[in-house]
Chain A
Amino acid sequence: MAEQTYLEAIRAALHEEMRHDYSVYVLGEDVALGGPFGVTQGLAEEFGKQRVVNTPISEGTVMGLAIGAATAGLRPVVEIMFIDFITLAMDQLVNHGAKLHYMSGGQLKIPLTVRVQCGISGTMGAHHSQSLEAWLTHVPGLKVVMPSTPADAKGLLKSAIRDDSPLVFIEHRGLYWSRGQVPDGDCIVPIGKAEIVRQGTDVTVVATAKMRGAALDAAQELDSNGISVEVIDPRSLSPLDIGTIVNSVKKTSRLIIVQEAVEQGGFAAEIAAKVQRDAFYYLDSHIVRVAAPFAPVPASPILEKGFVPGKEQIINAIRLALGKV
């Protein structure tokens, strides 16, 4: 065990997987220079610019190129600098990356990892702050993971790179400098496995990415009021470990789902639908979503602060579900 930041853990996973498998290539804008936040620092020095490849600002074509390289036997890791720019690559990712295995009747495999970072951090405005994970989970053939801790970031990225399906690995920029214990050695976190972060009996809170921390803060605060909160981090959104969530709801009878993305059409709706399907008669209250308002991310720090869900909204939602408003 060693303490690392989320960013260092991602970097370590890239180093280890590139060492472990010569078919792993990293491509993206400025990746050979370390990228804007330093995640890929040192990779080009160790593996050379043949395998750590700076690309022009052509997201769509670079995505297609990586998919084509995957059909020809490489394991590309593409970095899209901000998830907001994945819009430019959606055609290739959705129409080819996600579908070629199926459309070819299993003849082609696309072992592609797409690294993106998302979320609100640093008042960057509407084009550098979005949370678009729900779009990606709507696409059959794509796997989507969203780690919240350094250990999960490392373990899931290693799994992602070794996986034979295209996968989008969503990092949260606001977590890059958060610290945590990371196991030594080849620490793998399986794709499609949720984590019960905190045990509780009164209410289940499912929270992704940076909202996991907010949910834990809320749970901590309510603990002193005698409210016992169970917190679950799905870690993988597609495939989703719905069983862990359903089992928890069967115990607590109440569910809050927290996401940083805007509410409408978000991933929380998917979890809610699955839980009411599998645990309808266990529910003692309606399922409550905590999410951003249905608006683009504002630039002003004051507006942005009001936009991001946090501890207070989660506490209010829990009180609402418990009928203790």
Chain B
Amino acid sequence: MLAKKENPEQLVDLLRRMWLIRAFEEKVSALYAAREIVGLLHLGIGQEAVAVGTCSLLRRDDYVFGGHRSHGHAIAQGADVDRLLAEIAGRATGYCRGKGGSMHIAAPEVGFVTATGVVGGTIPLALGAAFAAKERKKGQVAVVFFGDGAGQAGPFHESLNIASLWRLPVVFVCENNGYAEFTPLSAHTLVERLARHAKTYRIPASTVDGNDLMAVRAAMDKAVSQGRAGKGPVFVECLTHRLRGHYEGDPAKYRELSQLSEWKKKDPIARFARQLKSKRVVSDGAMEKIEREARERVEKAAEFALSSPWPEPEEVDTQVTA
């Protein structure tokens, strides 16, 4: 459903942002297949609504933390796709000068603090940023994205406890995509809805359709407002699905094809586009243009990245300590 207060230009912008993530991830996938970029890549195709629904409510002085599948979160928060793609390609022009890579994107200038290769690893970090934000009293919030696999890790539970105890302005965004690496959630826990853990720690929590942009945005609007108002943490579980494997090259044989086609029908971008169309917010032509522009933008980013210089070999042991 589209909320009445949303203005059309803003809605189109959300669609544009989702398309930018989709086009970016598809380009990364193609570059990986062509061996233009290497490494361990986890793509968020199919999960764009969670990233955009959340970050569209954030400010640049908020603190956003990602996980191992976080290209989309960084783009949603406003990271520059040139520098992002250059980082994934290991070039000197990347956000981290090629020292971070796909799983360790940091774009603090737009509020994307860092991501992590350790499942659930940034949850405690977000608490710390929220702790600092609370002391600073400027209404900043910390937001952390993690998957259902993090819900069985110790720091997840410790963090829910401390965030609740200290009323920290942190929004826990659980992207429950049903799979922890290659294993369905049901094989790892009997607790089907991770939001239930938050309730145990007396944190307001909800579970939403993570492929419905406006549902995510509505839940996040409440969550972020609560954080800014100093009312403590909120937990939002977004049910979604990654349309690619766990990593690029993963044949994903653990997943039924029927399951994949069911989720493709719920593709968050197509779904939001249909909503906009039915409300006559955008025409078919405008819609095509949005997709085309997104693809052109990432083509430019790929050109920038691949024509960028490699880091100098001498940089290998620089910036080890500050």
- Listed in ascending order, the chain A residues whose CB lies under 8 Å from chain B are 50, 55-56, 58, 60-74, 76, 91-92, 95-96, 100-111, 140-141, 143, 163-165
Q: Is the CB of A101 within 8 A of B124?
A: no
Residues of A within 8 A of B98 (CB): 105
- Listed in ascending order, the chain B residues whose CB lies under 8 Å from chain A are 63, 65, 94-100, 104, 106-109, 113-114, 116-118, 121-133, 135-136, 142, 154-155, 158-159, 161-162, 165, 317, 319-322
Report the Cα distance A246→B220, complex, angstroms: 60
Chain A residue nearest to B127 (CB atoms) is A65
Shortest A123–chain B CB gap in Å is 30
Q: Is the CB of A108 within 8 A of B128?
A: no
Residues of B within 8 A of A103 (CB): 96, 99-100, 104, 106, 114
Task: Say which residue of B107, B124, B165, B320 sits within 8 Å of A68 (CB atoms).
Answer: B124
Task: Say which residue of A67, A92, A100, A143 sits within 8 Å of B106 (CB atoms).
Answer: A100
Chain A residue nearest to B113 (CB atoms) is A71
Residues of A within 8 A of B162 (CB): 55-56, 58, 61-62, 65
Shortest A1–chain B CB gap in Å is 32
Report the Cα distance A72→B170, complex, angstroms: 13
Residues of A within 8 A of B104 (CB): 103-104
Residues of A within 8 A of B108 (CB): 71, 104, 107-108
Residues of A within 8 A of B319 (CB): 101-102, 105-106
Residues of B within 8 A of A109 (CB): 322
Task: Say which residue of B122, B158, B165 sits within 8 Å of A60 (CB atoms).
Answer: B158
Report the Cα distance A235→B151, complex, angstroms: 42
Report the Cα distance A164→B320, complex, angstroms: 12
Q: Is the CB of B125 within 8 A of A58?
A: no
Residues of B within 8 A of A108 (CB): 106, 108, 113-114
Report the Cα distance A316→B106, complex, angstroms: 54
Report the Cα distance A163→B322, complex, angstroms: 8
Shortest B1–chain A CB gap in Å is 35
Shortest A221–chain B CB gap in Å is 40
Residues of B within 8 A of A56 (CB): 158, 161-162, 165
Report the Cα distance A164→B108, complex, angstroms: 17
Report the Cα distance A61→B123, complex, angstroms: 8
Report the Cα distance A56→B162, complex, angstroms: 8
Besides A71-B108, A76-B128, 10 new A-B residue pairs in contact (Cβ under 8 A), listed by A number: A68-B125, A72-B131, A92-B124, A102-B99, A102-B320, A103-B104, A104-B114, A105-B94, A105-B319, A108-B108
Residues of A within 8 A of B321 (CB): 101, 141, 143, 165
Residues of A within 8 A of B136 (CB): 73
Q: Is the CB of B99 within 8 A of A64?
A: no
Which of A58, A63, A111 has the most chain B CB atoms inside 10 A of its CB? A58
Report the Cα distance A64→B108, complex, angstroms: 18
Report the Cα distance A316→B171, complex, angstroms: 61
Shortest A218–chain B CB gap in Å is 35
Task: Say which residue of B125, B135, B320 sits within 8 Å of A96 (CB atoms).
Answer: B125
Shortest B173–chain A CB gap in Å is 16
Residues of B within 8 A of A164 (CB): 322
Report the Cα distance A100→B116, complex, angstroms: 10
Q: Is the CB of A67 within 8 A of B125?
A: yes
Residues of A within 8 A of B165 (CB): 56
Report the Cα distance A190→B241, complex, angstroms: 53
Q: Is the CB of B322 within 8 A of A71?
A: no
Report the Cα distance A223→B122, complex, angstroms: 56
Shortest B232–chain A CB gap in Å is 15
Q: Is the CB of B132 within 8 A of A72?
A: yes
Given contacts A58-B162, A95-B121, A140-B320, whether A105 and B128 have CB atoms under 8 Å apart is no
Chain A residue nearest to B134 (CB atoms) is A50
Given contacts A108-B113, A165-B322, whether A61 and B94 have CB atoms under 8 Å apart is no
Shortest A60–chain B CB gap in Å is 5
Report the Cα distance A109→B127, complex, angstroms: 17
Chain B residue nearest to A94 (CB atoms) is B118
Q: Is the CB of A64 within 8 A of B121?
A: yes
Q: Is the CB of A96 within 8 A of B158?
A: no
Q: Is the CB of B159 within 8 A of A61?
A: yes
Report the Cα distance A71→B107, complex, angstroms: 12
Q: Is the CB of A107 within 8 A of B116?
A: no
Given contacts A61-B155, A165-B322, whether A69 and B131 have CB atoms under 8 Å apart is yes
Report the Cα distance A65→B128, complex, angstroms: 4
Report the Cα distance A49→B162, complex, angstroms: 15
Q: Is the CB of A58 within 8 A of B158?
A: yes
Residues of A within 8 A of B127 (CB): 61, 64-65, 68
Which of A56, A63, A105 has the most chain B CB atoms inside 10 A of its CB? A105
Residues of B within 8 A of A105 (CB): 94-100, 106, 319
Q: Is the CB of B126 within 8 A of A68?
A: yes
Q: Is the CB of B155 within 8 A of A74?
A: no
Residues of A within 8 A of B132 (CB): 68-69, 72-74
